[in-house]
Structure 1
Amino acid sequence: MLFLILAILSTWIALAGFGVVSKNTGIQDWIIDRGEHRAAVIKGFLVSTVLALWLLSLVAFFGTVGDLKGIAIVVLGIWLAIPVFVIRVILPLLDRDEHGSARFMTPRETDQWTEANNKPAGLLLGRDAKGRDVRYAGEAHLITVAPNRSGKGVGAIIPNLLTYSGSVLVVDPKGENARVAARKRTEIGKTYVLDPFDTTGLATASYNPLSRITADNPDAADDAAALADALVVRGPDDDSHWDDEAASFLEGVILFVALHEARERQHLGTVREIITETPERFNQILEIMQDCGGLVARTANRFLGKSEREASSVLSTAQRHTKFLDSERMTRVLGTAAGLSFSELKKNQGTTIFLCIPPDRLDTYGRWLRLMVNEALQDMASTDRKPDLPVLFLLDEFAALGKLQSVKRAMGLMAGYGMRLWPFLQDLSQLKATYGDVAQTFFANAGAVQWFGVNDIETAKQISETIGQQTVVMRESDGDTSSHARSLLTPDELMNLPNETQILMFQGKRPLPCQKLRYFDDPAFSGMWDVDPQR
């Protein structure tokens, strides 16, 4: 009996000592890789052999010959029974995976991942069971799915604003990220805050989207089309005739304003002014456009060739999509002067641009965010220079941007333009409602996906399906075994994870449960951030 206890203890020591068994943030008590488990069992058996010899030597030294023979027989029997038990019972259980072989990263795999991604390009995602940073340094995009007030800002956005040395564009609906991290970002590089509603208390910059549409720009028409696409918010199905016609009409008007109006009138405020003119003045402008030639003339000709009813519908649709430009705050931040250039994100590493707008204004002024993100992506595509560190787009409240062709194209690319997109979603239904069937492409092209705080069943079901199933073996009362499929994490388990726990999934790797970050009580971020006066 003493030997059996020692053998079990030695096998346990081998399992723990060689890193096969580990506690993992309360999700699953044991994380076992079968190949490593076999090796550990063998090592445990060898240790038990040494203990057996040690026990026999004690008996030989202190006991009689009879004692030695008796103990030797018992020890030999148990010693031979252990490998038989392992071979006949343990290993067959480990080998059965006909219903699925899903598992989490092993400690050894986690070690390899943390070491390989501990680079300047590595984006902070969390901490592993040993307290080490878990980063993603790949070139693909990232996605975070987590509900409101679950820690996206404190655990993902702000930690990376405080530590990432590359350029960053961040959608900052509450202005909190700028209030907390702007000082640190200024130490890293030049920092701009676009804040039409003064949510941050910081000086606001301006950006004029028409400044890049010039006569010597061979892509002027394409840039005008992309700008019109950003102004017109479409549904997921892309089947609205009136939206398409309004976008086409706005494209021509934008090109007219950028190339043929006086310099001080070359801004979106003039576009809004033209399409809301009196009928008499509007028709006069269309006649002027007909004399401009090219796309501008074709736009005017197409509009004048429509029936009165169709033309009225196209014009009213264009007016609806540009109504946000009636705000003086919008026209100020969209500026008559050129203002900043998004190309600085690539040209000057460490540049930061905060896009701030109050959450209660998103429904009305979300188009401004769309416009800014679209323009930034256009500049990324048209700037040939590839930075040493990819430009990071932290797209909080991603659903508020609506469907953008430039975002869809960018998510379909990897590192071609030297940038990484990081959309933040509250749940999967948001992405499906915006992009329809294309939503799955976002996840297929993501190098890292972060899940935490899941509180809706549909999202939990999809995560559970994505993580996969494992094979669970049960021993029946008659001694036979049967195998069954079980989700590695069921929807219920996902919805009841501890608040500090998250699930990370990296392309081509096993899922990794780990701890979330909280910059404000983490010594690693001490001295980097400022207290938010509005909290």
Structure 2
Amino acid sequence: MVWKKLFGGGGEKEPSPREIERNRRIDRWLDAMGPEWAEAYMIIGTDPAIDRVFFESLHYKLRDGEIEEARKHLRVCMRFLTDESREKLRNVGQAQRWATFDQMAEAGIVISSNATFPMDALQIAKQPVPDRPDLEFPLYFRGEGHLLTVAPTGAGKGQRLILPVLLDFEGPTVVLDPKGENYEHTAWRRSLYGQVFKWAPGVPDSDCYNPLDRVTGWDEARLLAELLVIPQGKEPFWDEAARDLLTGLIFYVIRTRPEGQRNMRAVCRLLTPSKADFAAMVEDLQGSDDERLKELGNILETQSEALRASISTTLRTQLAIWRSDDVANVTSSTTPGWTVEDILVRDNISVTFAAKTGRAPGWHQRDDGGVTRGSAATVYLVVPPEKMAAMRSVLRVMLGQHLSEAIRVRKMIDAVNAEDDSLPAEYLDWPMMFVFDEMPQLGYMRIIEDAVAITRSYRVRLWLFAQDLAQLEEVYPKWRSLVANCRGQIFFRPNDTRTAEHVAERLGRRKDIWGGEDWVASPQQLMGPEFRDDCVIFQDGLSIRANLYPPYYANEKLKEWVAQKKRELGDTVYRAPRPVLTPEFEPDEDDADLKDDPEYQAELAALQARMRGRKNGSPPIPKAAPEDNGSRPPERPSGSSETPRRPPAPPSFDK
């Protein structure tokens, strides 16, 4: 202990009661001096170059409250200190403002090596082990809540954070992939975790998703219209009028068009009708048995032609991208199995099935060397950066619909699981994660603002990325609330004064031993080389300075691990079936998926029936506990058959 170095005694023998009491008095005295003076006192007292007379003189001055004399004494001592101690003295008080190892361990940001690894944990940064600079411990984000990362273009948000997390996190995920590098580097791995969907307009092997397939009523039509219409920042009347008209037209297409013709192209055609077609549509609307469609018909009939033309022009401009061949080809139908309800129901069945059989959920390697894949699907939305602006309307719909349905379905699943007495009280599980890279480029999305505020308990996790706070403020007027509602916030390499000042102000100022105050980290420091490979994390009331992982392209250990796992497990990306299968997409005959497990399928059908019952307001169907008929997937290999073990995850990302 430090007080032994300062005052001697102790040795290896147990201290006497008198020594213990003396040490307690010393600790209380050091605490009373304040962290800055206590730290300076320790630096002087433990420096081998300082004569004991100098130290005792400082001790008496501080004891007698002679602070100015103590400062003068310190200035004299500075010339005799070792270089290391002199540097520490210059930065006295700074360390106390950063979270300690014990504080992070208590908050769960550091995970004990002998603890059951939480399935929802994301490895986001690292820190040196106290007193062991040659070792580092990973920092994790886990539990309920959302993440926000703010860093400029080129800082490595994707390479340092998104890519490693996608390789490791096993839960269902929707990821906006502007460069396509997430799919390129991680689809092989996530194919082990479950079905992979790649939506990439203009790419021959793209999956398809028709947003109108998820519209069953007026409320869904209204949400779709809200996502389609990007606020223009002018008089709100025009945005609202456009949404109202578009809501009615979407609902009209759903109610009147045959299956196969309910898509956005059909909606767009209604905005450019001939006079005869317009008259026929108004007559059809007014004759509808739905009151809202009748109202739309009456509004269109009585609306002035100039006003109607202005609103229609606004909509045609907003929806122009939906008329392009590339977008129409991938939004006029839906790849089988690609709905959030299908994804979450199958994932929940797999997770609860594993919980009842006493093993960890997800993929695992079988005793015969084969692999049983998991049921946590991944959706990649791949759009080149240069097309992001043009594709905003489409991306807003894709992400917004998926998020809205995830909230609804998770709530229903949680209610069904709560009634299942055969489930353990606690079991390993994960949230559904949404990775919104370059989120402000999508424009204002009310559903994101609402989801960040209300979905903490629904096992839906948002990870939002922005270049700087000015960009966020421009799109979200309530940006401060958005930031505050993200439980974890990661800032690194700010290159604008506004963001750097925000971080510096949140870190606050520290008193120094010379009588002044200084930033814990000034805006200039945060923008300079001192923090180039560091990030600042605000989480659970803690301010954390951590080291960033190296970018994927420069992370030789991680790339070596990826190459090894591809050799062991293969790098095939299993995709959903197409109307015409090509050899590279045909399922592998050796793939032992849960789709072939009759007991799993029985539970899946039962859960879907219970959910339909809840949706329709009918009583839930009774559940039957599964019996072990030998058809379950083989147990995950582990040292103990009673202790579920997570599949081998990537080693530390400093690979």
Identify the TM-score tier after normalising by the shorter chain.
0.7 to 0.9
Per the alignment, residue 339 of structure 2 pairs with 341
C-alpha distance in 2 between matches for 1:102 and 1:505: 15
Q: Say if 1:11 and 1:41, in contact at 8 Å, map to a contact too.
A: no
Per the alignment, residue 440 of structure 2 pairs with 399
Look up the SS of the partner of 2:97 in the other structure: coil
1:303 CA displacement: 2.3
1:246 CA displacement: 0.7
Per the alignment, residue 57 of structure 1 pairs with none
Q: Which runs of 5+ in 2 are unaligned?
A: 10-32, 72-92, 130-135, 348-375, 415-427, 572-655
C-alpha distance in 1 between matches for 2:140 and 2:66: 39
Per the alignment, residue 115 of structure 1 pairs with 110
Output the TM-score relative to the length of structure 2. 0.64
User: What letter is aligned with 1:368?
Assistant: V
Per the alignment, residue 136 of structure 1 pairs with 141
Q: Say if 2:210 and 2:332, in contact at 8 Å, map to a contact too.
A: yes
Question: Matched residue pairs, number?
Answer: 459
C-alpha distance in 1 between matches for 2:198 and 2:458: 24
1:402 CA displacement: 0.8
1:416 CA displacement: 3.1
Q: Say if 1:391 and 1:419, in contact at 8 Å, map to a contact too.
A: yes
Q: Say if 2:536 and 2:543, in contact at 8 Å, map to a contact too.
A: no
Output the TM-score relative to the length of structure 1. 0.78
- Within a 5 Å distance, the mapping from 1:88-103 to structure 2 comes to 88=65, 103=97
C-alpha distance in 2 between matches for 1:345 and 1:440: 33
User: What letter is aligned with 1:447?
Assistant: R
Match of 2:256 among 243, 249, 260: 260
User: What letter is aligned with 2:262?
Assistant: Q
1:10 CA displacement: 3.8
C-alpha distance in 2 between matches for 1:89 and 1:471: 17
Per the alignment, residue 520 of structure 2 pairs with 488
Q: 1:204 to 1:190 in 2, by over 3 A?
A: same
Per the alignment, residue 534 of structure 2 pairs with 501
Q: Say if 1:100 and 1:468, in contact at 8 Å, map to a contact too.
A: no
Q: 1:89 to 1:164 in 2, by over 3 A?
A: farther
User: What letter is aligned with 1:495?
Assistant: M
Q: Say if 2:146 and 2:487, in contact at 8 Å, map to a contact too.
A: yes
Q: Say if 1:125 and 1:134, in contact at 8 Å, map to a contact too.
A: yes
User: What letter is aligned with 1:488?
Assistant: V
Look up the SS of the partner of 1:315 in the other structure: helix
Q: Say if 1:147 and 1:426, in contact at 8 Å, map to a contact too.
A: yes
Q: Say if 1:504 and 1:514, in contact at 8 Å, map to a contact too.
A: no
C-alpha distance in 2 between matches for 1:85 and 1:283: 95
C-alpha distance in 2 between matches for 1:345 and 1:490: 46
1:527 CA displacement: 3.4
C-alpha distance in 2 between matches for 1:397 and 1:134: 24
1:139 CA displacement: 0.9
Per the alignment, residue 277 of structure 1 pairs with 273
Per the alignment, residue 370 of structure 1 pairs with 396
The Cα offsets for residues 226-279 of structure 1, whole Å up to 9 and x where unpaired, read as 0000100014x6852111101110000101111221112111110011112223
User: What letter is aligned with 1:527?
Assistant: W
1:324 aligns with 2:321: yes
Q: Say if 2:407 and 2:455, in contact at 8 Å, map to a contact too.
A: no
Q: 1:120 to 1:89 in 2, by over 3 A?
A: farther
1:12 CA displacement: 12
Q: 1:458 to 1:38 in 2, by over 3 A?
A: closer
Quick one: percent identity of the two aligned structures? Answer: 23
C-alpha distance in 2 between matches for 1:107 and 1:183: 35
The Cα offsets for residues 371-397 of structure 1, whole Å up to 9 and x where unpaired, read as 101110121122122492111111001
Look up the SS of the partner of 1:511 in the other structure: strand
Look up the SS of the partner of 1:430 in the other structure: helix
The Cα offsets for residues 92-124 of structure 1, whole Å up to 9 and x where unpaired, read as 99xxxxx99981112433454543486321112
Match of 1:380 among 394, 406, 425: 406
1:36 CA displacement: 11
C-alpha distance in 1 between matches for 2:335 and 2:254: 12
Between 329-338 and 446-455, the greater mean CA deviation after superposition: 329-338
Q: 1:264 to 1:414 in 2, by over 3 A?
A: closer
1:212 CA displacement: 2.2
Q: 1:347 to 1:213 in 2, by over 3 A?
A: same
User: What letter is aligned with 1:353?
Assistant: V
- Within a 5 Å distance, the mapping from 1:53-72 to structure 2 comes to none
Look up the SS of the partner of 1:450 in the other structure: strand
C-alpha distance in 2 between matches for 1:185 and 1:424: 21
1:488 CA displacement: 1.3
Q: Say if 1:125 and 1:135, in contact at 8 Å, map to a contact too.
A: yes
Match of 2:173 among 168, 173, 181: 168
Q: 1:80 to 1:179 in 2, by over 3 A?
A: closer
Q: Say if 2:407 and 2:460, in contact at 8 Å, map to a contact too.
A: no
User: What letter is aligned with 1:503?
Assistant: V
C-alpha distance in 1 between matches for 2:7 and 2:40: 9
Q: 1:385 to 1:267 in 2, by over 3 A?
A: same
Per the alignment, residue 474 of structure 2 pairs with 433
C-alpha distance in 1 between matches for 2:560 and 2:239: 50
Q: 1:259 to 1:527 in 2, by over 3 A?
A: farther
User: What letter is aligned with 1:121?
Assistant: D
- Within a 5 Å distance, the mapping from 1:218-237 to structure 2 comes to 220-235=217-232
Q: 1:211 to 1:410 in 2, by over 3 A?
A: same
Q: Say if 1:12 and 1:44, in contact at 8 Å, map to a contact too.
A: no
Match of 2:500 among 450, 454, 460: 460
Q: Say if 2:167 and 2:190, in contact at 8 Å, map to a contact too.
A: yes
Between 517-526 and 465-474, the greater mean CA deviation after superposition: 517-526
C-alpha distance in 1 between matches for 2:40 and 2:400: 54
C-alpha distance in 2 between matches for 1:483 and 1:40: 15
Q: Say if 2:534 and 2:546, in contact at 8 Å, map to a contact too.
A: yes
1:515 CA displacement: 2.7
1:424 aligns with 2:424: no
User: What letter is aligned with 1:104?
Assistant: W
C-alpha distance in 2 between matches for 1:426 and 1:124: 21
The Cα offsets for residues 390-413 of structure 1, whole Å up to 9 and x where unpaired, read as 111110011121111211110112
Match of 1:84 among 33, 41, 60: 60
Look up the SS of the partner of 2:209 in the other structure: coil
Per the alignment, residue 69 of structure 1 pairs with none
C-alpha distance in 1 between matches for 2:484 and 2:102: 26
C-alpha distance in 2 between matches for 1:496 and 1:146: 14
Q: Say if 2:144 and 2:457, in contact at 8 Å, map to a contact too.
A: no
Per the alignment, residue 150 of structure 2 pairs with 145
C-alpha distance in 1 between matches for 2:142 and 2:550: 17
1:190 aligns with 2:195: yes
C-alpha distance in 2 between matches for 1:147 and 1:309: 45
1:309 aligns with 2:306: yes
The Cα offsets for residues 35-87 of structure 1, whole Å up to 9 and x where unpaired, read as 69859968997x99xx9xxxxxxxxxxxxxxxxxxxxxx97x77854642453
1:345 CA displacement: 4.0
Match of 1:156 among 161, 166, 172: 161
User: What letter is aligned with 2:255?
Assistant: L
1:150 CA displacement: 0.8
C-alpha distance in 2 between matches for 1:139 and 1:119: 12
Q: 1:42 to 1:319 in 2, by over 3 A?
A: closer
User: What letter is aligned with 2:222?
Assistant: A
1:13 CA displacement: 12
1:285 CA displacement: 1.4
1:104 aligns with 2:98: yes
